[in-house]
Chain A
Amino acid sequence: QKEVEQNSGPLSVPEGAIASLNCTYSDRGSQSFFWYRQYSGKSPELIMSIYSNGDKEDGRFTAQLNKASQYVSLLIRDSQPSDSATYLCAVGLAFGKGNQVVVIP
């Protein structure tokens, strides 16, 4: 069974700081990796996709992929209160349980 692990508890960061989220996965043959943001009571929203090793930047978001170590991470720079949400890591069609981020003004 393909597993995606997001083990960190809720993350509280002050406004303007960097939020860092990590995700590991079990299927070494995985080819596609995603981060979704989910506000309370809403459905997931795609924010980043990454397919090859290295970094991918999009605005204040940076996704990092390391296939050898089987992890993918997300950095949120200059965190804003509107970034407060649950962030879901997805590997192929499998999702992790998510990490809650709270940005404190």
Chain B
Amino acid sequence: DTGVSQDPRHKITKRGQNVTFRCDPISEHNRLYWYRQTLGQGPEFLTYFQNEAQLEKSRLLSDRFSAERPKGSFSTLEIQRTEQGDSAMYLCASSPTRDEQYFGPGTRLTVT
């Protein structure tokens, strides 16, 4: 399978805990994106990388969220001190160029 992969697919955590998600992009894609999607809404942009450089981060993104892409390969998204409002589907996408994005299956986060 050469598509975008995400791990885990589901995560249930208690409020206040930290969680980390991983995304492996399509191997030849140098751009990687993170989005959050809740029911009935479109994906909400969080951040994106070109290679290892984080080029843009949403102003809506709390300081509790951080993302890394060491060596320009896989990426991790960490949420610290989770809140119930963080419950959502977290989507990762990659792109070879010009923001044509290919999405992974997502990680569904439930904060109890």
Contact = CB atoms under 8 A, between A and B. Distances in A.
B106 A93 contact: no
Main secondary structure of the interface of A (DSSP, over half): loop
Interface in A49-82: 49, 51
A42 B9 CA distance: 12
Given A34-B101, A95-B42, A95-B43, 17 more contacts: A4-B42, A32-B99, A34-B99, A43-B91, A43-B104, A44-B43, A44-B91, A46-B100, A46-B102, A88-B42, A88-B43, A90-B42, A93-B33, A93-B48, A93-B56, A95-B35, A97-B40
Interface residues of A, number: 20
Nearest to B98: A32
- Of A4, A6, A32, A44, the most chain B CB neighbours within 10 A belong to A44
A30 B101 CA distance: 16
Interface of A: 4, 6, 32, 34, 42-46, 49, 51, 88, 90, 92-98
Contacts of B103: 43-45
B41 A97 contact: yes
Interface string B78-112: 00000000000101000000111111111000000
Nearest to A42: B105
B65 interface: no
29 contacts: A6-B42, A32-B99, A32-B100, A34-B100, A34-B101, A42-B105, A43-B91, A43-B104, A43-B105, A43-B106, A44-B43, A44-B103, A46-B100, A46-B101, A49-B98, A49-B100, A51-B98, A88-B43, A90-B101, A93-B48, A93-B56, A93-B99, A94-B45, A95-B42, A95-B43, A95-B44, A97-B40, A97-B42, A98-B41
